[in-house]
Structure 1
Amino acid sequence: MSDAHLQLIGEQIADLQAHFVRHEGFRRLEEDFRLLRHRREADIKAGRSREVRGIAVIGASGSGKTTAVDRLLRNAASVVKADPDHRAIISLRVPSPATVKYVGQTILRGLGYPVNGRRESWYVWNLVRYQLKERQTLFLHLDEAQDLAAKGTERERQSVVNLLKSLMQDPDWPICLVLSGTGELADILNFDPQLGRRFQPIRFEPISELADLAKVRDLLSAYIGKTVLAVDPDIESDAFGTRLVHAAANEFGLVIEIAIAAIEVALLRRATTLTVADFAGAFRRRAGCIDGLNPFVAENFRRIDPRELLAEEDRIR
């Protein structure tokens, strides 16, 4: 296969990966975020400084929460009015190890501030608060936020909770927090009722093969429609939709990933029609499995754990 053809396919797949389909979870997230933004901007305009609220986006790996938050913040950055030297929105991934000091240093780096690793934790966080105000930051997004206190002691978890509350309660410049993470994030928020009540939770629920097959078909159509591929009728059946939902571990984001991977398989074989075999090939490449453990091939596909890589047949018999 020529390099020119591979380049063309690479560009098509990159465009598909950049495509975003608005869905119920995203619309709710966007509405809550806009309300918080307008409240904060109104307070700033009126010279008020009061405690703010935050948003907690919770979902399993592959649910699409990170993609949704990234899209939200990119859209918001284009409309938030701020001086070019300011950073109205900061988005960071919680570092590992997620110590209080290291999280503060990561925020400072995100603000473009040089960090001296020898400084004490209290000094680092005083700098964080000062720099957030100087940069006129309105929102701080922390992805993989469940790692903030995943392995810490109760005392360390309380320290994290206190820091989050202090950012939202800062008398000079309160910060609206957007936290995204897996189900363990709820444990952090529930650890302290005073923190939990400050957050609006948005859960990206698993999709259901009973209730969501129509949504899955619409999603497939949205992505396939951006290609020149025709669709095999079998892909439009409920039986196929059920297999796809299972292969994606009932997660919205994984449905999209598998669909794009199947399109890539079809394009690589220079096909004109997207078939079930392309989805089987995509899952085979994704999981490194034999056909007996491929949800698009195996007769008893429900016994298969779709998240397991390089699975062996004798382990699930």
Structure 2
Amino acid sequence: MTNYTASSPVKTACGRTALAARIVDKYFSTDRDDRFRQVLQDFIDDMSVAVASQHPEGRMLALVGGSGAGKTLTMEKAIKHVNGLDDSNFLRLTTPSPCTLKQLGRVVLERLGYPLQRELADHRIWEMIRYHLKEHGVRFIWLDEAHHILGRGSDSELTKLRDVLKSTMQQREWAVSLILSGLPVLSAFISGDRQVERRSQTFRFQPLAFPDDVDLVREIAYEIVANHAGMAIHDEIGTDEFIHRLIVASEWGLGSAITLVRRAVLFAHSQAGADAVVGVEHFAEIYAEERDCSADSNIFFAADWQEIVPSNSRLDAALPARPKRKRGKTA
């Protein structure tokens, strides 16, 4: 079996910075993107119907998935391809942490162009928000990292947050729909109030699975190395076992797997330039740097790798030191 080589003539000499710019500025579209785009379009269309009815009210769409699943990027790509969502009626912000009613209100007002210059009561802040949402014609708000809502706040604070967001959706004079993206715990926030739950729908980003997603992950790895970077890839990268290791090392997140492949490519290039052959050792080194783990806890090296929990890798400080970087060409 021979090494996989680029199918297009992109194997040109370039610096690491140029290579990084070339491989990072790529997006992998999957069936999930098509499904989510349709869900988002239906959500927007339903809002248009609702505000034109005799009983206007907003709705909530939750994007739920693990870290590195690709929620934010999928949403960013989708909003460019749907009708009825643009800068005139859409507000995006990152949910603050910790997320209190006042802190969230400050972020929303600042995003609307009205940063608070003095302390105000919570209810006054949200009165201003509702007024300015209407003045600006904002019908949709996207709260990214929305799991921060369920931070270290008290139950009473969480209830106040939920009630305010529910009220924002229910305002007859200017109903607003909410898009929340975050970790799976976000579902607890939605299910905590039946009225919120009734107005919501959830799009779940399922984790990668073995063997179901082997072909997808292998295709992406080959695409990044061979076609985006124009570098050779060792045949061991194409095995089902390696792809399984990659899925586990990425904690079953598609976005994390893509990032890990890109980092391995850049490390290989740092070692041997554009003539490097991307192999397992490059993935192992990148994983070791990310997790600060020894060879015995490195999913790409360890014999008992299926028993390793990636999130526990930093707890093995007493184990042997991780493998040293190699400086020559790899094969």
How far apart in 1 are the matches of 2:62 and 2:301? 38
Could you state the TM-score of these two structures normalised by the residue count of structure 2?
0.84
Q: What is the aligned residue count? A: 306
SS at match of 1:10: helix
Match of 2:33 in 1: 26
Corresponding residue number in structure 1 for 2:170: 169
- Structure-to-structure mapping, 1:1-317, within 5 angstroms: 8-41=15-48, 50-73=56-79, 80=84, 87-224=88-225, 225-269=227-271, 270=273, 271-308=275-312, 310-312=314-316, 314=318
Which of 1 and 2 has higher RCO (CA within 8 Å, sep 6+)? Answer: 2
Change (3 A) 1:287 1:32: same
Show CA shifts across 1:84-108 (max 9, x none).
xx64221111112211111111001
Bigger Cα displacement from structure 2, 90-99 vs 179-188? 90-99
In the superposition, relative to structure 1, how do residues 121 and 27 fare at CA in structure 2: closer, same or farther (>3 Å)? same
Classify the secondary structure of the residue corresponding to 1:177. strand
| Shift, 1:267, TM fit | 1.3
Kindly indicate whether the alpha-carbon contact (under 8 Å) linking 2:79 and 2:85 is maintained by their aligned counterparts in 1: no
Aligned amino acid, residue 158 of structure 2: R
Cα 1:313/1:105, change in 2 over 3 Å: closer
> Are 1:13 and 1:264, in contact at CA under 8 Å, matched by a contact in 2?
yes
Say if 1:74 and 1:17 are closer, same or farther in 2 by CA, change over 3 A. farther
Cα distance, 1:227–1:120 mapped onto 2, change above 3 Å: same
Q: Which amino acid aligns with 2:255?
A: G
Q: Quick one: distance in 2 between partners of 1:206 and 1:81? A: 28
Q: 1:8 to 1:175 in 2, by over 3 A?
A: farther
Q: Equivalent residue of 1:113, what SS?
A: coil
Deviation for aligned residue 1:157 = 1.9
1:290 Cα deviation from its structure 2 partner: 2.3
Residue pair 2:96, 2:107 contacting (<8 A) in 1 also: yes
Identity of aligned residues (%): 26
Unmatched 5+ residue regions in structure 1? 1-5
Asked whether the 8 Å contact 1:94–1:145 carries over to 2, the reply is: yes
- The alpha-carbon deviation at position 172 of structure 1 amounts to 1.6
Residues 213 and 238 of structure 1 are in contact (CA less than 8 Å); yes or no, is this contact kept in structure 2?
yes
Secondary structure at the aligned position of 1:195 is classed as helix
2:173 aligns to what SS in structure 1?
Answer: coil
RMSD, aligned CA? 2.5
Question: What one-letter code is carried by the residue in structure 2 that aligns with 1:285?
Answer: E
Deviations 1:108-157 (A, max 9, x none): 11111131331111111011111111111121011121221333333222
CA distance in 1, matches of 2:164, 2:314: 42
- Amino acid in the other structure paired with 1:120: A
Q: What is the deviation of 1:178?
A: 0.6
Once the two structures are TM-superposed, the CA of residue 12 in structure 1 deviates from its matched residue by 2.3
- Structure 1, 93-102 or 215-224: larger mean CA deviation: 215-224
Contact 1:49-1:172 within 8 A present in 2 as well: no
Q: Shift of the alpha carbon at 1:312?
A: 2.0
Give the letter aligned to residue 316 of structure 2: E
CA drift of 1:49 comes to 6.5
Residue 311 (structure 1) shift = 4.1
TM-score normalised over the length of structure 1? 0.87
Q: Secondary structure at the match of 2:311?
A: coil
- Which range moves more in the overlay, 113-122 or 300-309? 300-309
Q: Conserved in 2, the CA contact under 8 Å of 1:149 and 1:160?
A: no
Q: CA deviation at 1:201?
A: 0.4
Cα deviations across residues 13-52 of structure 1 (Å, max 9, x unaligned)? 23323321122333222111112223434566x5866112
